[in-house]
Amino acid sequence: AQTVTQSQPEMSVQEAETVTLSCTYDTSESNYYLFWYKQPPSRQMILVIRQEAYKQQNATENRFSVNFQKAAKSFSLKISDSQLGDTAMYFCAFMEPYGGATNKLIFGTGTLLAVQP
Amino acid sequence: DTEVTQTPKHLVMGMTNKKSLKCEQHMGHRAMYWYKQKAKKPPELMFVYSYEKLSINESVPSRFSPECPNSSLLNLHLHALQPEDSALYLCASSPQGGGGFTDTQYFGPGTRLTVL
């Protein structure tokens, strides 16, 4: 079964600095999809970025980028120029491709990021 | 527009009450989901509806009863809940429900449920 591991329960970063959140996963599939969601104290789960495993190019969305290392089964999230509004719980998630055994999102346990002024 | 709306935002109910949570999306998505989330934990999938049919039930107790009247609306009917059912209930939708990159799930803001 697929598993997702986030080894950093909590992290802290100064405003305007860069921070990297780690995520590793385990799967025997060759094609799959990876996501980072953030959940601020307001509770809403917001999609941050997504990556297709068959694409070697790392996804980027404004200040958010990923370092996808397929062989190492690693999918880290880099937040540049951190802002106070980035304070949130960040969840890494995995999904099989269409028609896979399951269409479920498999979540990691989350990393609570605090951006300090 | 990637908006999923949920009502109410907060709900307090006794163990003998019957209440319902509502979720709505107007993105033309054909799959809708209910998740339960405890504090500082990831969401746990409860139910999936795909093309208005229940496709996944994660062995959820019968005191939770989902309903999908049409492709835009998803309800969760609650009856005889226990205090341990207190949690944030999240709704999500996705284009198809079959998984994959294009089937990205978009979440609503959640309903904070407290069972007394």
Half-sphere exposure of B53 (CA within 13 A, CB side): 4
* Partner-chain residue, chosen from A42, A105, A112, that has the shortest CB–CB distance to B105: A105
Q: Which one is predicted more confidently, A75 or A28?
A: A75
Distance of alpha carbon B56 from alpha carbon B71, whole angstroms: 16
Of the candidates A52, A89, A95, which has its C-beta nearest B99's C-beta?
Answer: A95
Q: What percent of chain B has pLDDT above 90?
A: 69
At A101 the pLDDT is: 47
Task: Tell whether the model's pLDDT for residue B99 goes beyond 80.
Answer: no
Closest CA to B25 of B34, B16, B17: B34
Give me the pLDDT at residue A95, please: 86
**Three-class SS of residue B77?**
strand
Q: Say which of B40, B90, B99 has its CB closest to residue A103.
A: B99
Least confident of A15-19, A93-97, B59-63: A93-97
The confidence band for A97, taking pLDDT boundaries of 50, 70 and 90, is low
The size of chain A, in residues, is 117
Say how far residue A70 (Cα) sits from the centre of its chain. Answer: 14
A66-70, A83-87, A95-99: lowest mean pLDDT where?
Answer: A95-99
Question: Is the Cβ of A27 closer than 8 Å to some Cβ of chain B?
Answer: no
Chain A residues with CB-CB distance to B103 below 8 A: 95, 98, 103
Digit-coded pLDDT (tens) for A23-48: 999 988 888 889 999 999 878 899 99
Nearest CA in chain B to A99: B98
Residue range B19-66, pLDDT digits in tens: 999 999 999 998 899 999 999 899 999 998 988 989 888 889 999 999
